Structures are given as structure tokens and as C-alpha cells.
Amino acid sequence: MEPLDDLVLITRRAGSRNKEKRVVNPFDLPNDVVDEAVYRRAVDHLRTHGVVLPRFAELVSPVAVDPSVDPDAADPRNLFRVHWYNDPATVAGRMVPAHVELPKALTGVDARILVMLGENFPIIHAHKVLAAYACLAPRLASGAFDPAHQRAVWPSTGNYCRGGVAISRILGCRGIAVLPEGMSAERFRWLEEWVTDPADIIRTYGSESNVKEIYDACAELERQPDTMIFNQFSEFPNYLGHYEVTGQAAGALFEAYREENADLKLAAFVAATGSAGTLAAGDRLKEDYDAKIAVMEPIECPTLLYNGFGEHNIQGIGDKHVPLIHNVTNTDIAVGVSDEGTDDLYLLFNSGAGRQYLAERRKVDQATIKGIAGFGLSGIGNMLAAIKVAKRLKLGPDDVIVTVATDSAALYESERDDRLKTRFGGSFDMVDAGEAFGRHILGGDSDHLVEMMTRDRDRMFNLGYYTWVEQQGISVEDFERRRPQSFWRGLREKLPGFDALIDKINHDTGLKRAA
């Protein structure tokens, strides 16, 4: 099937009126202005709101934003903070992303595990704001999305919809958050403060495992003429943004450590399933350093591992489907982590008794204790997955694993209180801390882990058919296009075109870069 160059126009009935609506085929990525009238309105809208869009290249190699600009404000200048170098660290004299290196005293393995911190991204304190910007910028700059007249719909299991609402607020357009009702109370409190209208928060049934219910809600919204769905699970710019921005940030972090020790090897990149956007950084690291790519998922809902289903509490990871943008046939390892572990370790890392145990009994340094206290649930899950990978591959002190903590612990305080009450009777002491550490870190082996061969990759890839072809209407031909690596290499060639479109719209607004 030959790829189309332009977005597809279809006609739908809205009420008693016929409305022509631009519906996006996710495979049709813009390389030019697709609607001149919409483009002109977007230019006027951005000019009115003082918005200059950063190019993807400017998020890879960022420049400083005026420090007086509040990073949590709906200020257009904060778009230039959508990168990994806010509050950077220094290694071997190089500026690198903020991160925590996990010592053997904590992990029990020799491999060096580096956890990049998403909490320093602006406004939402999670790196999903990068995915939201990456999905919106090409459509906005190509005249496919009209910020003056359309509502942006952000389907999510928690952080992506917050990022989308934040970007929408900056642009002066309405953003609609679609997320499961079972997500943490902190997410909903944030959304209530940021949406234009309380009705713009749509709570769907269930938890992060109930992704189909999110899709069903979006299908209803898509029938309305003034909405556009930015589905992170099928938006290839989500993949491209992480491939380019997160991948190069992780590579720069490894290079700095290798500057201090030339024998270091980047053994693996670990990321949770989620929308599979972050996993794209692994594709970059595999190309540049021959690193293995490991995908983490909850064993309570082991979709990739066992074609399984279920419910879990590692929030922010959508399950029971395989994202369209997951380059499954390039993935090397699938590893399961229990939410029993992430919940218990969240308490361990964020309680007085837990921190005392780590310091006194495990001899973990205070800087590490402070760093891991900031991990959200999926970050702890990625840490546990990295430890499992290190054990299975028998990695040594010259092997490096890079992973991410998507968001901060502040999003889960209500979950911590609930876990403390239901699991530990309201009290978490040194004995509980020792049991949690022993069970989930020292006692955790490399079970529920598959080193993927061709048959495993094909099985996991094929599982996506039921979501994308049978439920979401993707053609079999388009679905199959994603199987060979030539498709993904061709996809990456779109990035310079995206930056060219962004340059053009910035030029036409006549505004200078926000600084």
C-alpha cells in the first residue's frame, strides 16, 4: 500500500448538519501545509497568544529560558523547557540530564543503573509533556489543527492528558482529558485546576488496564466536528519525539560516564510499556551503542509476556493492548514487575522507617535515598525491571543500564496512604522495611522475563491486530507496514520536515523565540 502524503478529508454528519472534518490517519505524517485557511488562522492565533514553537532540535540541545519565568506557569516560554536538561547534573565536566545512579547497596547487582528524572519537566513534572508537544506540533504547524476553533482531546492513563491540557492552555485552546476514574486523586486535582471547563475531564471506567474504554470515549468525541484526537498510543510523532529527544539525552548521559571510564558499555535501555513512546529512545540507543531494549509490564496484567489481562496499580501504563507505535520487532526483552513491589517500595522510599533502614542496615548514601524518594510508581517499576535485566544478563560493573522515572512521588501520596492502611494496618516500621527490601529487591529474581527471539517478537506484534485492525479500523496493510525495521527508519526521516514546518510557522507569526 502506497503511503499518502496528505491527511484524509472525510464528511461526517453532526446533528442535522453536514460538517467536513479532517480525520487523521496516523500513517499520514505532514510534510507541508495541508490546509491553507486553517494554517492562516493558526498563525494569527499563535501571534495573538505570543507563542513561538520550539523545534525538535531545540529540545535536543536546549538554550536557557529566563529564570524568572515560573516553570509551572502557562507561559509560552515554558515550551522551551520541554526537555531533559532542566536542573541538569554534571558528569565528567559535561551537562547531563538530572538522574540518580543506583548503587549496589540498593540494587544488589554490579551493573550501573542510571535513572533519568522526568520530574524536572515543566508544569506537570513528568516527561509526558514532551509526548504531548511532539504529537501536537506537527499538526499545528501544518494547518491540520485549528487552535482557535477545535478542542484537543488527550486520551491517557494519567500524565499524557495532563501534558496535553498544559500545552492546550499555553496555546489558548481547549484541551479535553480522557482518563480512567481509578487514577490517583492528585492527577484529578491538577486537572481540575487547569481545564477550561470541568466537563473537559472525562473519567472512563476502570484503571490503567482499561485502555479500550478510553478509546471508546474518544470515538464518541471524534463524532463532534470541533474535536481532534491526539492518541498517544497511535501518534507516531510521540515515537519520534522520544527517539530524538529522550534518546539523545540518554546517550549524552552514557557518554559522560564513559568519559570517566572508557570500558563502560551501554548494555540496555529499560522503559515501561505505556504508550511505547519512551521505548523509542531504546531504538536510538540500540543504533548508536548496540544496547538491548527491555520493556517492563505488570505481571498482574501480562499482555506481552503471556497474552494476559488483569488489573494493577503501576499507574500510567496502559495495558491489554499493544500500542501502534511500539516497535515490537526491535524489542529484545520483556520483563514483568509486580505492583506489590512498586507499592511496597514506594512506602519504603517515602517513610521515616524505610529511609532509616536503607541508611543504617543497607548503608545506602543519603543522596541516593533522597533521589529515590522522588520516584513515582512506574519509575520504581523500571528500577525493578532494570535489576531483573542485570541479573538475567549477568551484567558486571562495566555494564550500564539506563532507564527513566517518568513522574514524581508527589502524584501518589494518596496511594501511599491507602497502601499504608490496607497492607500495613496504618504503621510501617523497620521490620516492614526489611521485609519489603528483602522480598522485592534482594529476593527478586529474573522470573517473568523473556529474552525475545523472532517467534516471540512476531507473537507480540500479532497481538496488536485485535486492537488496531478489528477495533480501531487500521487497515491490515498499514498494520503490517510496521513489522520490518525499514518502516521505522523511514519514519525518522520525517523529523527534519517537522522542524522545517515549525520554522515556517514561527517565521509567519513574526515573533522571536521566547527567552
pTM, two decimals, is 0.92
| Mean per-residue pLDDT pooled into runs of 10, the chain (515 residues) | 36 38 81 96 97 97 94 96 97 97 97 97 96 97 96 90 96 93 86 93 82 89 93 96 98 98 98 92 98 95 87 67 96 94 92 96 96 92 96 97 90 76 83 92 85 96 95 95 98 96 97 68
Q: What is the CATH number of domain 89-124+246-454?
A: 3.40.50.1100
pLDDT on residue 1: 33
For cell 473537559, the residue is 200
b/e burial code for range 223-256 (CB count within 10 A of at least 16 → b): ebbebbbbbbbbbbbbbbbbbbbbbbbbbbbbbb
Q: CB–CB of 142/33 below 8 Å?
A: yes
pLDDT on residue 16: 32
| Distance in Å from the first CA to the final CA of the chain | 45
Count Cβ atoms below 10 Å from residue 163 Cβ, excluding itself: 30
pLDDT on residue 318: 54
Reported as a single tens digit per residue, the pLDDT across 181-198 is 888 888 899 999 999 899
pLDDT on residue 6: 38
What single DSSP character describes residue 442? I
Q: CB–CB of 316/208 below 8 Å?
A: yes
Q: What is the CATH number of domain 132-234?
A: 3.40.50.1100
Give Cβ neighbours of residue 206 (< 8 Å, ≥ 6 apart): 180, 181, 182, 213, 311
Cell for 220? 464518541
Q: CB–CB of 228/139 below 8 Å?
A: yes
Rounded Cα gap, residues 254 and 249, in angstroms: 9
Q: Are 89-124+246-454 and 132-234 in the same CATH fold? A: yes
Residue extents of the structural domains in the chain: 89-124+246-454, 132-234
Reported as a single tens digit per residue, the pLDDT across 258-272 is 999 999 999 999 999
pLDDT on residue 32: 96
